[in-house]
Chain A
Amino acid sequence: MSGYIITLLITIGIYIILSLSLNILVGYSGQVSLGHAAFWAIGAYSFAILTTRYSVGFIEASMLSVLITTFVGIILGLPSLRLSEDFLVITTIGINFIVEGIFNTFNYFGGAMGIGNIPFPTINGHMISNQVFALIVYTAVVLTIIISYLFKLSWSGLACSAIKDDELAADVSGVSVVKFKMIAFALSSALAGLSGILYASFMGFISAADFSFPVSVTILAMVMVGGEGTIIGPIFGAALLVLLPELFRPIHDYRMLLYGLLIVLMMRFQPDGFFGRKGIVWSLLKRY
């Protein structure tokens, strides 16, 4: 396989983890976040700072970064707990802008220059090949799929889906809304952190602009286009929205225009996503 294809596969894998992590919030517990890139950023930045500034090893840094992202995710999730749909959306947009602003402003986080020389994984002092890295990424993807599946079936997952259907009814039936929303937030940010680590390590250089608000829009679009609440949906959405700009490359000038129009048309004619309850895929499958 050529280097281009491998790079593309790795990118798709990183976005699959990211969109599945957002799916836990949006699809399983009904909390819409338009600031998911902020949690991705926190994972990537903690990994970058731990490895470049404090020369922590790759595996230790990865574990610490996931912990840090989970912790920060819980803290940032706190103000969101009491908020209903639209307030939550706008607050998460705000979190994205604030986190990006902080990374962009303070020199500790590299400021506008970003952080470079982030280490690529090594074995016995030799850098591993991109093929092996792709293997690591897809191991993480499989892990994320298993976690998503188990979460959906678990007690917490059931409680979350009750909250998603009707928060008041769930509360009255004795489901602790705050507790389970928090669990969803923590799990979602942990997985976003995992994706951030892989991204930082693969790119070798990160800056605040990589995690700006349009990225959050893309991640949410991946979940919605594929179909929220399913597992195949976000995987498909991530692959589609990473590939589309590549396919549009020959008509480079019209790329973003087509991208925007596609999102509009998609929502207009397939509001449940390709793999959602009323999505086109299931209705086609049922016919045959």
Chain B
Amino acid sequence: MLAQQIINGLTIGSIYALIAMGLALIYGILRIVHVAHAAVYVVGAYAGLYTYLTTHSFILAVLTSMVSASLVGILIELLIYLPLIKHSPLISLIASIGAFISIEEAVRLIFGPYIKSFPSTLFSGEIHLSHIVISYAQMVVLSISLLSIILIWITTEKTRFGMALKAVSQDVDLAEITSLDSKKLIFLAFAFGSAFAGLAGLLVGSYYNSIYPSMGDVPAYKSLAIIVVGGMSNIWGAFWAAIFIGLLETISIGVFNIPLPRDSLAFIFMIIMLLFKPEGIMELFKGLKG
């Protein structure tokens, strides 16, 4: 029972991680609470689904969902955030919520309000390991997110682009002095972060086998709780927080039957964290090491 819930929790946690890491990356650079990130996720899911339905290739679906999500992310950045950069972040936040509402509504008007699903032949079947059941869908989700997280790790930690991003997120002015083009970097960061949000949309869609216009509502706000737990602009904090909250949700509901609404658990945990460790989950690890 517990082992099964751990597998389920890891699956959902790794999808949360894909959304939250991009959000933390964008927050680190622009200091904007990018709620419309979840709209990017919905667009990615729809783009992937329709590509799969026409080409029957899951790899192509993954690619189109990532590309279309980056495009939407870039458009949001160019049309809304950049012009508002001198105003208080609150104004960008409200504009972001407005953008989220209108993109979701546009998706609903174009593709219809009903739940759409993949053909049933995609990832049917499961493996039994003594008591644990792992479905093919779970394996696909786990392996793709593992690959993506390795890719994010290499990009942010090992490349010049990643170093430049770190520099800009620490101090924009100083980075500009050392001849970094911060506009271009913000642009690339949006493309990069949004691509993985789009991928997460496709993965959630194929895992639950349902895609619908309002699927972004819950991730939109839960991912905010996750990045707070992770320490706001800390990408790896967001990763650990996402995995932890995925496990917390599935275990407390699945094993202990806690009578609280599932989607508010992340926020309850967030408030507890804010009271005791407002610096984020990574400080907790440092405490363990020390």
Contact = CB atoms under 8 A, between A and B. Distances in A.
A83 B31 contact: no
A19 interface: no
B93 A89 contact: yes
A259 interface: yes
Contact of B261 (A82, A86, A101, A262): A101
B81 to A, nearest CB: 10
B91 A271 contact: yes
Nearest to A253: B109
Contacts of B274: 79, 83, 87, 91
Contact of A213 (B84, B105, B221, B270): B221
B95 A267 contact: yes
Interface band, chain A: 35 or more
Contacts of B33: 86, 89-90
A79 to B, nearest CB: 6
Interface stretch (A150-158, A183-191, A192-200, A217-225): A217-225
Contact of A264 (B27, B87, B99, B263): B99
A274 to B, nearest CB: 14
Interface stretch (B145-153, B173-181, B224-232): B224-232
A95 B224 CA distance: 13
A83 B228 CA distance: 12
Interface string B76-118: 0001100110010111111101111111011001000000000
Contacts of B270: 90-91, 94
B80 A86 contact: no
A132 interface: no
A263 B79 CA distance: 14
A61 interface: no
Contact of B97 (A100, A217, A261): A217
Interface residues of B, number: 42
Interface in B220-258: 221, 224-225, 228, 232
Interface in A72-115: 79, 82-83, 85-87, 89-91, 93-95, 97-98, 100-102, 104-105
Interface of A: 32, 79, 82-83, 85-87, 89-91, 93-95, 97-98, 100-102, 104-105, 213, 217, 220-221, 224, 253-254, 256-257, 259-264, 266-268, 271
Given A97-B263, A97-B264, A267-B80, 8 more contacts: A85-B90, A86-B31, A87-B228, A94-B267, A256-B105, A257-B101, A263-B101, A267-B94
Interface of B: 27, 31, 33, 79-80, 83-84, 87, 89-95, 97-103, 105-106, 109, 221, 224-225, 228, 232, 259-261, 263-264, 267-268, 270-271, 274-275, 278
21 contacts: A79-B271, A82-B278, A85-B90, A86-B89, A86-B232, A87-B228, A90-B225, A90-B270, A94-B225, A95-B271, A98-B268, A100-B264, A105-B259, A105-B260, A224-B90, A256-B105, A263-B98, A267-B84, A268-B83, A271-B84, A271-B91
